[in-house]
């Protein structure tokens, strides 16, 4: 994302910001609409894990959208002037002279936080869904999806492959954010080989490579997470195996296999 220039208006950048905010809002509405559809058509309780996921994703999108607006507004104002700077920063902090850096760091933190929120919501839902099927919670997230959840469904091979492909790709992104570079052990069930294919694109990384997150990628991944969980949760075969649809117990297992 290119920052606004301090004190100057950029119609192009304003349109990009507006477009990004609209996409976040539409994804939030899509997630909530899916939640309502599932409640109305499947009769699940409002506290059912198969329902709560979509509300949690909408909350992430809405909160990050507000943060995005605040950071963009901050950069677009004439904060380089001393009278504005002193309202925002303590004079002892030697960073207010470079507001572009402040903006860049703030957006970077926003993107990392946004992605981790989406991943953790996806991860916790898969773990709780696995428990709802009567299985024990195990450390390896990929094994939960591949060995327990997907075999309980009647999904097509294409749908199952899409779910696996998504989990592998976003786990790769998560590890890069956590470790400041690519780290993918061979255990954990992934058996990763490069290039990784995701949505028709090939990604090849070496150990310690850094992945730069951008909003286009983040929103695309978020949309995929919503769609993949939707067809998993709507699957009749899966639902016939559910023995406890509200396994709301804390899960504190550090996943060292990802």
Query: Which pLDDT score, from 0 to 100, does residue 202 have?
Result: 77
Q: What is the pLDDT of residue 203?
A: 75
Tokens representing 209 are 């490579």
Q: Are 139 and 253 in contact (CB under 8 A)?
A: yes
Q: Which helix (H) or strand (E) holds 197?
A: strand 196-198
Strands 201-203 and 196-198: antiparallel
Q: Is the peptide bond before 139 cis (omega within 30 degrees of 0)?
A: no
Q: Name the CA dihedral angle for 25, 27, 33, 34, rounded to a multiple of 10 degrees.
A: -160
Residues of the chain short of pLDDT 70, as ranges, are 1-10, 13, 74-100, 179-193, 206-209, 244-258
Q: What is the pTM of this model?
A: 0.78
Q: For residue 8, what pLDDT is reported? A: 47
CB 112 within 8 A of CB 179: no
Q: How distant, in Å, are the alpha carbons of 27, 56, 66, 171, 189 from that of 59? A: 11, 5, 11, 22, 31
**For residue 172, what pLDDT is reported?**
81
Cα(133)–Cα(127) distance, integer angstroms: 10
pLDDT tens sequence across 134-190 = 887 777 888 899 999 999 999 999 999 999 989 988 888 887 777 666 655 554 455
Q: What are phi and psi of 198, to 5 degrees?
A: -150, 115
Instruction: Write the CB contacts of 20 (distance below 8 Å, at least 6 apart in sequence).
Output: 68, 215, 219
- Would you kindly state where each structural domain of the chain is located, as residue ranges? 11-241
pLDDT at 216: 87
Only one residue has tokens 């016939």, namely 240
> How far apart are the two ends of the chain, measured CA to CA in Å?
29
So what's the pLDDT on residue 96?
Answer: 47
């Amino acid at each position: 994302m290119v920052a606004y220039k301090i004190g100057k208006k950029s119609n192009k950048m304003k349109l990009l910001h507006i477009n990004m905010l609209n996409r976040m809002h539409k994804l939030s509405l899509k997630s909530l609409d899916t939640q309502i559809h599932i409640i109305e058509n499947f009769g699940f309780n409002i506290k059912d894990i198969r329902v709560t996921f979509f509300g949690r994703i909408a909350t992430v999108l809405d909160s990050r959208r507000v943060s995005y607006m605040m950071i963009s507004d901050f950069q677009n104002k004439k904060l380089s002037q001393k009278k504005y700077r002193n309202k925002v920063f303590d004079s002892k902090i030697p960073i207010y002279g470079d507001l572009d850096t402040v903006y860049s760091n703030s957006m970077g933190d926003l993107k990392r936080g946004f992605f981790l929120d989406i991943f953790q919501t996806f991860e916790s839902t898969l773990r709780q869904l696995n428990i709802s099927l009567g299985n024990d919670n195990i450390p390896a997230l990929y094994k939960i999806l591949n060995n327990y959840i997907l075999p309980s469904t009647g999904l097509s091979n294409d749908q199952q492959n899409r779910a696996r492909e998504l989990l592998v790709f976003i786990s790769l992104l998560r590890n890069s954010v956590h470790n400041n570079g690519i780290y993918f052990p061979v255990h954990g069930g992934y058996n990763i080989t490069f290039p990784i294919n995701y949505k028709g694109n090939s990604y090849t990384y070496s150990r310690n490579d850094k992945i730069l997150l951008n909003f286009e990628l983040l929103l695309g991944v978020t949309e995929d997470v919503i769609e993949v969980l939707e067809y998993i949760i709507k699957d009749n075969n899966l639902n016939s195996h559910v023995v406890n649809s509200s396994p709301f117990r804390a899960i504190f297992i550090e996943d060292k296999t990802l």
